[in-house]
Chains A and B, each alone.
Chain A
């Protein structure tokens, strides 16, 4: 390839000299021989510009010979009749060589500058590309495909797994097909030194494996598979490969640090949430405990001076506060199960009327004389839900409504089918939600500005949302026209309910 190119360059230079000679033959009658030397010099300069130093010198030699043979008397011999022509030859040759050399050097410099520019350009594009990637997997993916494109080789990347063993992570998996290639990649990963830069010494692997190092840690290894190992020996290409690798290594390190920073932030947030939980929970646990301890000790130490009504009242306090404590612990457990992901949703086809009914039955002691208006469409189909969990949702919503509704106003529960969804609304007539509270009410431990006077840890609605989410549904809060708050739960119906074979016989059991 290189040799043929060389031949082409010399042939080109020769062609230029031939051209100049033809032109000189045409112009000979009208000009002095010294003018013709100028033409030949021009030919040499053009050769230097077009083909470099070697062809320029060759052109100079051939030019002198042709000039001597064709235009210097005695013509058509290499003999020279006048001594002054020898000077002309010497000057002509020297000028040709000097201009040729200078021009060729300029040309080389220009070419090198172009190569450098291309290289810098490609590095720039790679770095820009890598800067846009968020995670290390994406960085590797981008780097591998860019490098493969720029160097026209097959590229793969490996990452260490938990045990420090190299695992294919991105790129062309065929690069690591061979046992020796995998071993070479592993070696680069373990020792942090490039493998395969000196072909022949790599134990059968034809690839080049370059560790991507940040500090003292090898984050990944780039594996290049080359069909012609000799081509990699080109210092120019080697330089490029090094530059690409270090760019990728830097980008990987950036991602790793960013991920670490994110993790740390998450830990800080979790820590903060935990301490908020602790202070909230310990307060909520202590309040009923204080009441129970006080009432119980009063009963224990009573020497008979307490009236029956007082004793009854104290016993009542113990019972109520214990119930409250039990609810709180239940909520905390539910929240923990929801957050740890151990909550299993067992969907079965349920009657919503039944689930709402049992929620209300359980709430009876707390609701006391609060009216609850239930309006469930009589032809509502069976709904796919986890009855135990959904009963909890209804209970928490009703409990919440009861807490914030004004005295004497009923709680409204409505259910209907809306497209392919169940729509369940629990609404009250109270103060409603403050601006911006529509989302915050579902945050755990959120207690609204009006919650201060009410008991509760701010978990009920968060649990509702957790359970509804786990069902694949949605829950939203909004203010109700005419005052009060309304919570709307939507559950997907997931297909058609199973059919029930109806009895063929009459209506009589006899």
Chain B
């Protein structure tokens, strides 16, 4: 797992640095993103408007798009919808604090992830890696046979879950919830998405199901369920399974 993480940092195809399209109107943020991304082996294209952003997304075929939600000409969510009409390029939206609704709309509208301004470069790079890897995996290896993080392991073929080598007994729903999160490890999944995937469309809106089952999973899998390292909460938005070991 760790090996592949390093290999995936900035390339999608062997030897070619990944191209990132930055759609953001603030010059200072574009400058910091360009400097940061290029020093980490990415190539960068920038634009300050939504209209140009859509054109660039079509003509330059980037590997990933960083999309600011507050653009001068029109709404970032519209850009997202337009691009999603014809492309599945990974898109990470840049949002401001306190806009949980926007985050959920963006994720439901097809964004792969979000970062909240102000964000640090390592935080952004981690999200980008997760988004790129997920895309690569979806294309190259549709179904991995196992998921591992630290001492935690899911054997997807034999449907076994273990922590530190010791098997953990899960109910069918707990297992389904866990594997849904693991399949999208590193990415935030909204409450509605998880309810639809695990319980089915009849249960959307019943967020308390998720809270109860997440608590059960944490008590079975986390060393300290009160301070999770594996099953992370994205308050007001959803849940995320950690993909890289969280520092203690």
A residues bordering B, Cβ < 8 Å? 319, 322, 326, 330, 333, 348-351, 353-358, 360-361, 374, 376, 382, 387-388, 391, 497-498, 500, 503, 505, 507-510
* CB of B174 within 8 Å of the partner chain: yes
Task: Identify A507's interface contact among B170, B214, B226, CB under 8 A.
Answer: B170
19 contacts between A and B (CB under 8 A): A322-B118, A330-B97, A351-B211, A351-B212, A351-B214, A353-B218, A354-B214, A354-B215, A356-B226, A357-B228, A357-B233, A361-B232, A382-B212, A498-B206, A500-B212, A505-B172, A508-B169, A509-B170, A509-B176
Q: A residues within 8 A CB of B28? A: none
Minimum C-beta distance from B230 to chain A (A): 12
Complex CA gap A508/B175 in Å reads 9
Given contacts A500-B209, A505-B171, 9 further A-B contacts (CB under 8 A): A351-B215, A353-B218, A354-B215, A357-B228, A357-B233, A361-B228, A376-B226, A500-B212, A509-B171
Complex CA gap A362/B161 in Å reads 28
B interface SS class: mixed
Which residue of chain B has its CB nearest to the CB of A375?
B226
* CB of B208 within 8 Å of the partner chain: yes
Minimum C-beta distance from B33 to chain A (A): 16
Docked-complex contact A348 and B208, CB < 8 angstroms? yes
Task: Identify A374's interface contact among B174, B211, B226, CB under 8 A.
Answer: B226
Q: A residues within 8 A CB of B214? A: 351, 354
Looking at chain B, what size class is its interface with the partner chain?
Answer: 20 to 34
Q: A residues within 8 A CB of B236? A: 387-388
Residue from the set A326, A391, A497, A509 with the largest chain B CB neighbour count within 10 Å: A509
Minimum C-beta distance from B195 to chain A (A): 12
Complex CA gap A374/B224 in Å reads 10
Docked-complex contact B159 and A510, CB < 8 angstroms? yes
Docked-complex contact B228 and A349, CB < 8 angstroms? no
Q: B residues within 8 A CB of A382? A: 208, 211-212
Residue from the set A330, A349, A500, A503 with the largest chain B CB neighbour count within 10 Å: A500
Complex CA gap A379/B218 in Å reads 15
B residues bordering A, Cβ < 8 Å? 97-98, 100, 118, 120, 159, 161, 169-176, 206-209, 211-215, 218, 225-228, 232-233, 235-236
Task: Identify B120's interface contact among A319, A351, A356, A500, CB under 8 A.
Answer: A319
Docked-complex contact B171 and A387, CB < 8 angstroms? no
Docked-complex contact B211 and A349, CB < 8 angstroms? yes
Which residue of chain B has its CB nearest to the CB of A348?
B207
Q: B residues within 8 A CB of A503? A: 171-173
Task: Identify A387's interface contact among B170, B209, B212, B235, CB under 8 A.
Answer: B235
Complex CA gap A507/B118 in Å reads 44
Q: A residues within 8 A CB of B215? A: 351, 353-354
Docked-complex contact A326 and B118, CB < 8 angstroms? yes
Q: A residues within 8 A CB of B118? A: 322, 326
Minimum C-beta distance from B228 to chain A (A): 6
Minimum C-beta distance from A134 to chain B (A): 40
Q: A residues within 8 A CB of B172? A: 503, 505, 509
Minimum C-beta distance from A268 to chain B (A): 32
Which residue of chain B has its CB nearest to the CB of A508?
B169
Docked-complex contact B233 and A358, CB < 8 angstroms? yes
Residue from the set B175, B207, B209, B211 with the largest chain A CB neighbour count within 10 Å: B211
Task: Identify B227's interface contact among A360, A507, A508, CB under 8 A.
Answer: A360
Q: A residues within 8 A CB of B175? A: 509
Docked-complex contact B208 and A497, CB < 8 angstroms? yes
Minimum C-beta distance from A433 to chain B (A): 27
Complex CA gap A353/B100 in Å reads 21
Q: A residues within 8 A CB of B98? A: 330, 333, 388
Minimum C-beta distance from B62 to chain A (A): 29
Assuming A326-B118, A509-B159, A509-B174, is B208 touching A349 (CB within 8 A)? yes
Complex CA gap A354/B219 in Å reads 11
Q: B residues within 8 A CB of A354? A: 211, 214-215, 233
Complex CA gap A376/B159 in Å reads 32
Q: A residues within 8 A CB of B161? A: 509
Q: A residues within 8 A CB of B159? A: 509-510
Minimum C-beta distance from A139 to chain B (A): 46
Complex CA gap A354/B228 in Å reads 9
Minimum C-beta distance from A337 to chain B (A): 8
Docked-complex contact A350 and B174, CB < 8 angstroms? no
Q: B residues within 8 A CB of A388? A: 98, 100, 235-236
Minimum-distance CB pairs A-B, first 3: A509-B175, A388-B236, A358-B233
Complex CA gap A330/B225 in Å reads 28
Q: A residues within 8 A CB of B233? A: 354-355, 357-358, 361
Task: Identify B207's interface contact among A349, A497, A507, CB under 8 A.
Answer: A349
Minimum C-beta distance from B188 to chain A (A): 13
Residue from the set A333, A349, A357, A358 with the largest chain B CB neighbour count within 10 Å: A357
Which residue of chain B has its CB nearest to the CB of A388?
B236
Complex CA gap A394/B223 in Å reads 22
Minimum C-beta distance from B163 to chain A (A): 15
Q: B residues within 8 A CB of A358? A: 232-233, 235
Minimum C-beta distance from B121 to chain A (A): 10
Which residue of chain B has its CB nearest to the CB of A391?
B235
Q: A residues within 8 A CB of B174? A: 509
Q: B residues within 8 A CB of A387? A: 235-236
Complex CA gap A122/B92 in Å reads 79
